[in-house]
Amino acid sequence: MSLLQALIIAILQGATELFPVSSLGHAVLLPALLHWPFDENDPTFLPFLVMLHLGTSVALFVFFWRDWAAIIGGALGLHGRRYRLESFRILFLLAIATVPAVICGGLFEHLFRHLFGSPLPVAGLLVANGVMLLLVEQLRSRMAPLHGEDPEAGRPIASLTARDALFIGLFQCLALFPGMSRSGATIGGGLLRGLHHDVAARFSFLMAEPIILAATAHQILKMRHVPVTHEQIHLGVIAACVSGVTALICTAILMRFFRQHDQWALAPFAYYCIVLGLGSLAYLSGVL
């Protein structure tokens, strides 16, 4: 892998891990579209992936450090009894929302990636991801008037119930299909439980921290017997820094966009996925 390829993949990972457009889908499609001679399932590629995920994880922690400080500080009783109960509640909700993905991932991730991890199925699933985002926005726009809800009044994270958290967690399982976005699925699940886009995204990214760390730990275990060269270490460190900075910038952009646009805010990402997916299908099938 050249330095240029590493930088491109790092930037793509940092952006697509946060934007609801499927980082794994892009990781599968990019080498196929550009005819790069490697794939993300190659064992020698694991150290590079680990560094990318560490960079993204650090970026998320840096951006949401105030949230984590408030949650952890509250749980330790540093801010009074009321905040302690609220912090424990948020930690409980995050744990509940994480359970479905942990169970389904442990049971089916390898099978799903084997069946759907090649470029053509991923391109089709990227189209499905775009359709899902549009359906979520359509359902959300219909649900508020139906239930007599004020569209301007959103729910805070602490108001979620265990059932709400489980619902969002089940949505997260869609990301087991390469091409379906984890952040898109969880943000969509949050929207359908009455959260505004920015609050749903905040809950999604708080959920992402333990998921990404767990995935990274799993990858580290898998690479115990994989020889790592000095060149791979250097590329990995550079890529991790680039991925982390990109993720930090993209998180800030996305959160600001969601605060300013709460109606059909997922639509631009949906159209992007549909166009890229259809274009990739046409190109990989030899139509273009």
pLDDT at 47 over 80: no
**How much is the CA Rg of the chain, to the nearest whole Å?**
19
pLDDT at 147 over 70: no
Q: Which two tokens stand for residue 53?
A: 């995920």
Looking at residues 40-46, what average pLDDT do you find? 64
**What pLDDT is stored for residue 135 in this prediction?**
96
Q: Which two tokens stand for residue 240?
A: 């991790």
Least confident among 30-44, 159-173, 224-238: 30-44
- 113-134 residue pLDDT tens: 777 678 899 999 999 999 999 9
Looking at residues 35-63, what average pLDDT do you find? 80
**What pLDDT is stored for residue 200 in this prediction?**
95
**What pLDDT is stored for residue 74 in this prediction?**
84
pLDDT at 21 over 50: yes
pLDDT at 92 over 50: yes
Q: What is the distance between the alpha carbons of residues 90 and 153, in angstroms, rounded to a whole number?
A: 20
Containing domain of residue 241, as a range?
A: 3-284
200 φ, ψ to 5°?
A: -60, -40
Determine what percent of the chain is predicted with pLDDT higher than 70: 91
pLDDT at 185 over 80: yes
Q: Quote the number of domains for the chain.
A: 1
pLDDT at 143 over 80: no
Determine what percent of the chain is predicted with pLDDT higher than 90: 49
Q: Which residues contact 74 (CB under 8 A, 6 or more apart)?
A: 83, 84, 86, 87, 88
Q: Which residues contact 5 (CB under 8 A, 6 or more apart)?
A: 36
pLDDT at 62 over 90: yes
SS3 35: coil
Least confident among 154-163, 195-204, 247-256: 154-163
